[in-house]
Structure 1
């Protein structure tokens, strides 16, 4: 399905202007924040030219050529916003490292001038009148909001049989490394778009794996921050006990710069009350020798699920040791096989409550989950050609947040994953962080049968489950390739440990330089 998107007219109208900028022509492929800032500081580039270059690349790669289908809508005021920031720069005012840098947002985040739909046609006319606080922070930092990215509809919480990267409004996003492979996770469009250099950096959201998996399968750095480091107000939710936004970028330094701009307290989100106290200059804390002397534990129970991921882990362990890290192998993390049922219970209860709250306060026409279920049934040909809404229906049948079943599941999940899980392992071995493989290489997209994520022990959730349920940070970093597909490794730690994790991730990145740009191969030929 390839829907007609309203931004095409705007995009095509912009193309004649692109050719009129030969003086500042610049190949944005793989360009990072510091390089772009240096060029703008030296007068070799400005934000308008940079924004035009990305628009041209979107037209050539996302809508034509390989047709990644990763962008769901463009900001019609992007060039105007870039011009205003250029005027500020010429007047001597630079807001910070993101000044004039084009950014893409996942299409579940409120941003003025664009719909916020979670990929659903039911919310195609939901046009927020105010920015989410996260977006307001990015604008205040000087970022240009380039547009919105496609996603797994409703952040992959409509059906257990969904195809990641598909939405009724946006169609199927493709993996830029091998086009018939899946981008994974609900932040699929952000992952594919940033991997293909359709913007400098991007924002995803995660409940369990929705930043980390698409980042891993697109050769990106993805950060799932501590729950409460940044506001969730104005973001279409799944579950408030696990939801967070986070950066997706082609380098640790770019992800760190983005994290610094996003972090901070929001009086409308009680979980963020400590965020201001834990904000850091994350870029200043990066060191090329960030691995030296760090104590890192290997979670072997999270390996053994996919052989290519295991090979990446073994190579990463060798790199850690070669760079001066102290590797404790193995480290046992308790409770990995006891979390799945509690997590699903929490998400079903919280989704019904949290989504209803968002719909009530938004411009969306369906105001309840029950109304959305009815809407989908009435528009089944457009919305449910491949899979249904079994998770919607289960969530709608759940009780309120005062239900004992929910309260017991929440208490169990937090205790087992955090204090008795990650924290206990870190304390026992005096560790700075844990390491595990991220995911294996991207699986083929299959709209009929859904996702084919390879797993090992069926009682153990994915590598993202433990930090997701604890509300603790985790970072995935490119670790190499297999058959032309990226694989990654993940570092995780205790609450508010982003500075340590990013320093470790940066040291690993600088030692390996594992990332390579995608080449848009149609398929893998044996």
Structure 2
């Protein structure tokens, strides 16, 4: 087993790599937006230097299969941004900073947008996704694409976390054969190792939060509608969101500011309140917990096992820290509707996901300028997957799609709306997340990340996960039950996270 340093299994971190000008780089494993920007502004190094350094690190850690593709003109773009900086043009604090994107985030360039499947290899988008356009406008350098659970974990329940046909098996950096978390697996590992200034993932039911926690990162699952999903390969339009995965809260705030906002191409963004605080960077204050009321909804802690004891020891310490920072922690602020959700709600949720994917993927495929495999529906994707050898069927089956075909509905079917409304009224009502916050006069909830994502994902409200701790030496090793890769889920040195979650549009407060 590795120590709590991610470099021990993954890559030898070099202290003080020289730039072409003889200057010293910051330690890229830990360098944040402010430190990198300062180095660029005072000409200690250039964006070209940064891109070269990050590419070298990506190549050093290639055995972890975090990055599937490096953008072939990244150096040329970096040179142009360096030239702009010298001439006094600086688009934002992110000007000249390289980032990595999950393989389902659409780019209209020579990079592939595959969602991990050969079904989309060679497809061409009409233009960038909105979040990518915003990153370009901010002066960020798109460095490459990261591996992911194929189709954002919507193909089968027997595929290992972090596997895709295009990218292979991603491995976490904290232990041999570590489960990296999914579905934004490559983005999690990339940010853990400092392979870019930040990485981006998508989250439908924990796909940013899980790999962020398992890679010792900050990750933000934003309110559904805060970030546009236009030309991001869809899973569920009612639950998908895009967010940053970084080393610090402030860095995540920088990147969230860059990609959030209204977009006519995604009508969910029209719900953004006009009075909402969107100054996320300035909201990062060390005094932020003072005077707040934070609830612990203990009844969400379902499925706890003895192997989770290290997490709850660290959680108890975190609660004491939170109280020491001036927050009032209110225990047992349980969600009255959660028991009914456990009895009936998950089945309804999966029905929504299924119907949304059927509708959303057809719309996405119809928007492509080039569709080499002539795939236009979920049924077409399933047929391609079952016939194309590199998709590894039947060992990795198509059970999720099989169930959708049997259900025979999309999100315009009469059966859909009652499924969607059931959980929205249940968990989004008086006995759910917003009602319980109001009942106890809370600013937010706090839980270990493993148990924090489900309710928020269904309601569409935000969560921010931060590093909490590591499994202790001597902890029993457990193996992830999914797939055939025998990935290590828990064991000495593997990280876990702490999540704060609240009502919709509460990112600034969180």
Mapping of residues 14-413 of structure 1, within 5 Å: 21=20, 23-26=22-25, 27-61=27-61, 63=62, 67-111=63-107, 112-275=109-272, 277=274, 278=276, 280-303=278-301, 305=304, 306-337=308-339, 338=341, 339-362=345-368, 363-364=370-371, 365=373, 366-380=375-389, 382-384=391-393, 386-397=395-406, 398-413=408-423
Equivalent residues of 1:265, 1:276 under 8 A apart = no
Over residues 350-400 of structure 1, what are the superposed CA-to-partner deviations in whole Å (9 max), with x where a residue is unaligned? 110101111111133311111111111112454326420111122233213
Over residues 321-358 of structure 1, what are the superposed CA-to-partner deviations in whole Å (9 max), with x where a residue is unaligned? 11110000011113224121111010011110101111
Q: Once the 2 structures are TM-superposed, how far is the Cα of residue 266 of structure 1 from its aligned partner?
A: 0.7
Equivalent residues of 2:257, 2:280 under 8 A apart = yes
Q: Once the 2 structures are TM-superposed, how far is the Cα of residue 218 of structure 1 from its aligned partner?
A: 0.4
| Residue segments in structure 1 that go unaligned for 5+ positions in a row | 1-17, 440-461, 502-526
Equivalent residues of 1:237, 1:358 under 8 A apart = yes
State how far apart, in whole Å, the 2-side matches of 1:256 and 1:179 are.
Answer: 32
Equivalent residues of 2:230, 2:266 under 8 A apart = yes
Task: Give TM-score, length-normalised by structure 1.
Answer: 0.84
State how far apart, in whole Å, the 2-side matches of 1:57 and 1:402 are.
Answer: 46
1:484 aligns with 2:486: no
Moved more, 140-149 or 394-403: 394-403
Equivalent residues of 1:231, 1:272 under 8 A apart = yes
Moved more, 125-134 or 354-363: 125-134
Partner of 1:484, secondary structure, is coil
Equivalent residues of 2:19, 2:45 under 8 A apart = no
Task: Give TM-score, length-normalised by structure 2.
Answer: 0.87
Q: Judging changes above 3 Å, is the alpha-carbon distance between structure 1 residues 46 and 158 closer, same or farther for their aligned structure 2 residues?
A: same
Mapping of residues 510-525 of structure 1, within 5 Å: none
Moved more, 425-434 or 358-367: 358-367
Equivalent residues of 2:165, 2:390 under 8 A apart = no
Partner of 1:236, secondary structure, is coil
| Residue segments in structure 2 that go unaligned for 5+ positions in a row | 1-16, 472-491
Equivalent residues of 2:202, 2:241 under 8 A apart = yes
Q: Once the 2 structures are TM-superposed, how far is the Cα of residue 472 of structure 1 from its aligned partner?
A: 0.5
